[in-house]
Structure 1
Amino acid sequence: MQNAQHPYGALTPDTVIDAVESVGLFSDFRQYPLNSYENRVYQVGIEDSAPLIVKFYRPNRWTSEQIQEEHDVLLMLKDQGVSVAAPLSFHGQTLFEHKGFFFSLTEKQRGTPLEAGDLDQLFAIGELIGELHHATESWQTQHRPNIQASGHIQQSSEFILHSGFLPKKLTSGYQSLIQEVLTLTTKTQQNSPAKVRFIHGDCHRSNLLNTDNGLVLLDFDDCRMGMAVQDLWLHVSDSDAKQQQLSELIEGYESHHSFDTRELDLIDVFMAERHIAYSAWIAERWADPAFPTIFPHFTGEDFWRQHVGDLEEMVRQWGKWR
């Protein structure tokens, strides 16, 4: 299992305040940690002003060029009127470094979480993603990796197999299941359109906020090149109503940008990829003390039996999105 020293041990409350003040702001020393697993995010009070959100990027995950590329597209989207939470600029910069941590600041967004399966909200989500994809139609990332699903599945499953978390009694069945998933993935990708474009990359419900001015899209930390459907399918919350939910999403999307429905066949690929990669991500981050607290059942056999069972069900349901 992983024993590497976790990267946030040096991110003390004083370091947070010092980082914020290093850009020329004056803090009132109030800070409140916000829900974030991969990075660390805080609301920090500012003297005689509204509090700001400061995001500290996980060390050694992205280069400064990769983070700046994220910032550049967010500023471009904001200029075009797309509702996103863009980084603030100080002295002509949006990305800063303090004591080994890259960080950025944004305005605090006030709103409420979205409700799973709400058809009106799904239409609005589709609209916002359609706006995003229309505005970035010609955008090409230069520094962000274009992750291939089959390679990501292979890499993540290998990490799981060598991590020590998967019970030995499940290993043989898991290996066979991964091979079946990879075969299905290859076949599905060969028969689907291959138009790669800029995507948010992690567009689930928690990365959207319902404000008085409409939806706001948050956290482009995983933005990259990919397929349009990858920004849509995570909003399908009920397998029994998936056709209706997809219909609302696509109808909203196509009010701003065309959608190739052949991409729906790829949902099975991306669902399996995310399921496998998610468990590998927890295993890889286990040395971060936040992870054992957030995922206390990860080391138990029940977790892994559920993981394998869910993957088996995905294989059984493969090819039923259209």
Structure 2
Amino acid sequence: MTATHSFSTLVPDTILDAVESTGLWSDSRIYPLNSYENRVYQIGIEDSTPVIAKFYRPERWTEAQIREEHQTLLKLKAAGVPVVAPMVFNGDSVLRHKNMMFCVSPRLVGQHPEADNLDQLYQLGELIGQLHHTMSAPFVERINVSPLTHMETAANQILMGNGLTEEHQLPEKLKPVYKQQIAKLCDMSKAAIGTYWPASLRPIHGDSHRSNLMLHNEQFHLLDFDDCQNGVAVQDLWLHITQTENPRQQLSEMIEGYETYLPFDLRELTLIDVFKSARVINYAAWLQNRWDDPAFNKAFAWFGSEEYWVNHLNELKHCELEWGEMSK
């Protein structure tokens, strides 16, 4: 890592010192987990099970936003919702070491959901419904979702190529078609939002893809609330749709499970394409925005080539061509 990057000081001794500052005694085993936005490690503990230490990316969230995430998780756990909540040390879960915020959580062992498993999709719907029912009060510190704004901001960032060398930027020859494609998706999104947008937003997980769910002791648990926000219920469901020919079969299973706890407004299905398009655009902008992080250079070495940008444009075109399939 370069000495200037925010995680450059996060060397093994620092990681172990941080964990041991809680009173836990490590056995010096450190195993990095698959996380790039933050840094997450499994830490071996003497005469006990390992724990998970998560070091927050500086300046991404405020301390108040992180505290609200933790308070929510602790309340959910107390209410019997299967989540992984941070551990509390001396009355606090938001910990600091060398000006870096971190938390420690129990390790959960299990399997991620199986794609296309309808029984599991029903269970996932139940879990999301239970989550939304329990998280009734909107977040105060967390962001409110605004997909159209996010799309436009991310697309403008990509077009500007901020922080990228010329070889990684969107090629000039592709910019006209990129602008055209973004404009088309923004127009379609405006139309969908104009047709239906909820009167009020609800607190949601915000990034409930398969890797953030774990089947443990025959029960699904939700992990990693780093992106929790005020949003729309369908945001926590649509990421589990893997079929393109008949997505309603998968949706119906999740919605049936969800309605064990809460009614689901079917008008939200018209917003799936909006969130899908926003996710595709935001992912490319996220890679660009984090390109100064050496971990991204290594893990996403394919980013920024002309082939990458052509594929990105193809993804955006597919978003347009598949528009409406989810809500048929």
Conserved? CA contact 2:138–2:203, under 8 Å: yes
Conserved? CA contact 1:59–1:100, under 8 Å: no
Q: Counterparts of 2:153 and 2:270 in 1: how far apart (Å)? A: 23
Size of the aligned set, in residue pairs, is 319
Counterpart among 242, 247, 250 of residue 247 in structure 2: 242
Q: Counterparts of 1:220 and 1:292 in 2: how far apart (Å)? A: 25
| Matching residue of 1:61 | 60
Q: Counterparts of 1:302 and 1:186 in 2: how far apart (Å)? A: 30
| Letter in structure 1 aligned against 2:71 | D
Deviation at 1:299, TM superposition (A): 1.9
Conserved? CA contact 1:4–1:287, under 8 Å: no
| Matching residue of 2:214 | 209
Deviation at 1:4, TM superposition (A): 10
Conserved? CA contact 1:30–1:45, under 8 Å: yes
Conserved? CA contact 1:85–1:218, under 8 Å: yes
| Matching residue of 1:174 | 178
Q: Secondary structure at 2:311's aligned position in 1?
A: helix
| Matching residue of 1:155 | 153
Q: Counterparts of 2:109 and 2:148 in 1: how far apart (Å)? A: 39
| Matching residue of 2:32 | 33
Unaligned 5+ runs, structure 1: none
Q: Counterparts of 1:317 and 1:44 in 2: how far apart (Å)? A: 44
| Matching residue of 1:93 | 92
Q: Secondary structure at 1:117's aligned position in 2?
A: coil
Which 10-residue stretch deviates more, 111-120 or 222-231? 111-120
1:304 aligns with 2:309: yes
Unaligned 5+ runs, structure 2: none
1:188 aligns with 2:192: yes
Seq. identity, %: 48
Which 10-residue stretch deviates more, 192-201 or 149-158? 192-201
Runs of 4+ in 1 over 4 A off after TM superposition: none
Q: Counterparts of 1:273 and 1:128 in 2: how far apart (Å)? A: 25
| Letter in structure 2 aligned against 1:157 | A
Q: Counterparts of 1:5 and 1:318 in 2: how far apart (Å)? A: 43
Conserved? CA contact 2:244–2:325, under 8 Å: no
| Matching residue of 2:5 | 6
1:18-70 alpha-carbon deviations (Å, 9 max, x no partner): 10111122111111111111111111111222111100011110111000000
Counterpart among 229, 232, 243 of residue 227 in structure 1: 232
Q: Counterparts of 2:237 and 2:95 in 1: how far apart (Å)? A: 32
Conserved? CA contact 2:52–2:106, under 8 Å: yes
Alignment RMSD: 1.3
Q: Counterparts of 2:157 and 2:145 in 1: how far apart (Å)? A: 16
1:56-105 alpha-carbon deviations (Å, 9 max, x no partner): 01111011100000001001100110000000101000001111211001
Deviation at 1:6, TM superposition (A): 2.7
| Letter in structure 1 aligned against 2:144 | N
Q: Aligned ranges for residues 37-48 of structure 1 at < 5 Å? A: 37-48=36-47
Which 10-residue stretch deviates more, 41-50 or 148-157? 41-50
1:287 aligns with 2:285: no
Conserved? CA contact 1:6–1:288, under 8 Å: yes
| Matching residue of 2:142 | 144
| Matching residue of 1:199 | 204
Question: Structure 1 residues 4, 276: closer, same or farther in 2, change over 3 A?
Answer: farther
Structure 2-normalised TM-score? Answer: 0.95
Structure 1-normalised TM-score? Answer: 0.96
Q: Counterparts of 1:17 and 1:188 in 2: how far apart (Å)? A: 49
